[in-house]
Amino acid sequence: MARPKIALIGAGQIGGTLAHLAALKELGDVVLFDIAEGIPEGKALDIAESGPSAKFDATMSGTQDYADIAGADVCIVTAGVARKPGMSRDDLLGINLKVMKSVGEGIAAHAPDAFVICITNPLDAMVWALREFSGLPHEKVCGMAGVLDSARFRHFLASEFNVSMKDVTAFVLGGHGDTMVPLVRYSTVAGIPLPDLVKMGWTTQEKLDAIVQRTRDGGAEIVGLLKTGSAFYAPATSAIEMAESYLKDQKRVLPCAAYVDGAYGLNGFYVGVPTVIGAGGIERVVEISMNKDEQAMFDNSVNAVKGLVEACKGIDDSLT
């Protein structure tokens, strides 16, 4: 059987890391697409040359021609610009919306059967726009945010408790921005919910609140340190986890920006929710019950995303 084909649209910091991880995990053959000449070709060759030592079998290529992504099983989109210090994700909207248009058209023309994972920010609005521009089925287009946000939350919690990250689960809902909703009640250490751990004296409410805030600001913290761009190792690793679940029909329960139609009181809207990812793409949206405070935070986050979607419609008439 032929290896799966993975098209990476955008060969920058995240795109290059995605290619490297896909190769190391032998997920399939990789095509890196970018408008910048030489960058995708150079990264593809560099990673291919690591193959004999890393011992993977996968072909790597770089291109500026959408025809080369033909028949891709998975497309991961990072094309666009990243944040610099002082910028919010929302500041990227105007530039990256135009990029989503060309990417959506390229995928529709050459890889209409692919499972598409968008990473470009502002994530929730960009994944919506990418779906609109591409016309692909809603269950085949999603955005990577929740896996990353919950990974950050899990990392901070594991450090606080001095336990393995493997035994920490975390739950993050809502948009990928300042309004994201880390759900403490549904986050656990080996099945013990965080509020119980506070009662058990493992941590204090104040420390937990600080960790929740640090999770919300997780992207900005990295931008502040790097100064030249935004995070790329953890975002790439998160998207690879999603791609692997699709390619291997693992049916992992992963939070991502998915099309929600009916659940959570939403009628056809992209926002971060728990999902099941398998061979059918987003096979299920998992609807959990929220208390009043959690619902208020979620509504606030949904409203922030709605504002960005409206801003997109204001910029590009074809989206209205």
Binding interface with ligand APR (CB under 6 A): 9-15, 34-36, 39, 78-83, 92, 96, 99, 102-103, 119-121, 229-230, 232, 235
> Judged by CB, which is closer to ligand APR: 87, or 288?
87
- Rounded to the nearest whole angstrom, what is the least distance from the CB of residue 64 to ligand APR in the complex? 8
- Rounded to the nearest whole angstrom, what is the least distance from the CB of residue 100 to ligand APR in the complex? 9
As annotated, the binding site for NAD(+) includes: 10-15, 34, 96, 119-121
- Rounded to the nearest whole angstrom, what is the least distance from the CB of residue 303 to ligand APR in the complex? 22
Is residue 175 a contact partner of residue 256, using CB atoms and an 8 Å limit?
no
Q: Per DSSP, what are the bridge partners of residue 5?
A: 29
Rg of the Cα trace of the chain?
19
As annotated, the binding site for substrate includes: 83, 89, 121, 152
> Judged by CB, which is closer to ligand APR: 82, or 277?
82
- Rounded to the nearest whole angstrom, what is the least distance from the CB of residue 99 to ligand APR in the complex? 4
Q: State how far the Cα of 38 lies from the Cα of 11, in Å rounded to an integer.
A: 10
Of 20, 110, 155, 176, the catalytic one is 176
The CA distances from residue 225 to 84, 86, 228, in Å, are 10, 12, 9
Residue 20 catalytic? no
> Judged by CB, which is closer to ligand APR: 109, or 263?
109
Amino acid at 205: Q
**120 backbone φψ class: left, alpha, beta (φ>0; ψ -120 to 50):** beta
> Judged by CB, which is closer to ligand APR: 188, or 230?
230
Is residue 34 a contact partner of residue 57, using CB atoms and an 8 Å limit?
no
Question: For strand 192-193 and strand 115-118, is the pairing parallel, antiparallel, or unpaired?
Answer: unpaired
Token readout for 218 is 């997780």
Nearest CA to 97 among 130, 64, 124, 65? 130
Which positions are annotated as active-site residues?
176
